[in-house]
Amino acid sequence: MRVLLIEDDRDVAEPLRRGLTRHGLDVTWVLTGKAALCTPASDMVLLDLGLPDMDGLDVCRALRAHSDVPIIMISGRDSEIEKVVGLELGADDYLVKPFLIRELIARMRAVHRRHRPGLAEVPGPVPDPGTRATYGRVTIDRRAHRVFLDGAELPLRPKEYALLTFLTGRLGVLVPRETIMTAVWDSNWSGSTKTLDVHVTALRHKLGDALTIECVRGVGFRMVLGPGLHAVSGTERRALPHRGDRQRGRGRRPVGGRSG
């Protein structure tokens, strides 16, 4: 998802941009309203109201004049009248600072679902080169936040999706538990890392033998493909079996074994 962040406070924008990027979002950050109105179209707008060159409400009004892009206002203004005016001008949600990145992500997903009500009715993957990657039998569409196993959509919870995309982005690399927790949950996470084990177990169950999550006790996790498989970006192509597999008479079997 392409996100336009309109925020003039660097102390707010920098950690916010890092947090959104860790969740797999493509963030463009601008500091002024005029710059925002000159920026190419995005999939969602995060709009601060206290901008140096123009009021955020005017930016919202200008965006709504020519676009139905989802807009979430993020502001330190918490009066009821500010919220009402913002929503009346066309904002889809209003979030008061300070807030946790997890809450913002949840609100962004909710707004995105409301803007795409027919998404669940789409019977199969929608081609979108450049935002899709195939890992053996698993295809991830990062822009649409959808995962497909053997061509059928795989239902994943938000954190399961974030964990899957994070590990597939580091295929074959042993990633420390702390690194995963910081990236997938939050840099300020203070709970038990056992929640990571729970999500890994859930992913293993849903992925079956399509992808393997290896555990190195006391260190972290590594995601790997099975023999004869490789990752392909921007296409739905499946990997072919190794030559040795064909010679042993396994060339006609579906790659990766049984379907999950």
Location of structure tokens 């962040």: 5
Task: Considering only residues 122 and 97, tell me which one the structure prediction assigns the higher pLDDT.
Answer: 97
Q: Which residues partner with 232 through β-bridges?
A: 134
Please confirm whether the linkage preceding 98 is cis (ω < 30° from 0). yes
- 8 CA to centre of own chain: 24
Q: DSSP 3-state assignment of 159?
A: helix
Contact between residue 151 and residue 125 where contact means Cβ atoms under 8 Å apart: yes
- pLDDT value for 58: 92
**Mean pLDDT of the residues in the chain:** 78
Distance of CA 42 to the CA centre of its chain: 15
Confidence of residue 24 (pLDDT cuts 50, 70, 90): confident
pLDDT of residue 147: 93
Average pLDDT value for residue range 171-195: 74
Q: What is the pLDDT of residue 250?
A: 42
Residue 231's CB is within 10 A of a number of other CB atoms, namely 15
Task: Give the pLDDT score at 193.
Answer: 60
Q: What is the pLDDT of residues 31-83, one digit of tens each?
A: 999 999 998 888 899 999 989 999 999 999 999 888 888 999 998 888 888 88
Residues 141-164, mean pLDDT to the nearest whole number? 89
What is the identity of the amino acid at 23? H
The pLDDT of residue 71 is: 93
3-state secondary structure 57-99: HHHHHHHHHHCCCCEEEEECCCCHHHHHHHHHCCCCEEEECCC
Distances (CA, A) of 177 to 68, 158, 195, 201, 246: 40, 19, 11, 14, 38
Total-model pTM: 0.47
Amino acid 143: pLDDT: 79
Task: With H, G, I as helix, E, B as strand and everything else as coil, classify residue 23.
Answer: coil
Residues 195-251: tens digit of each pLDDT: 888 899 999 999 988 899 999 888 889 998 865 455 554 443 333 333 344 344 444
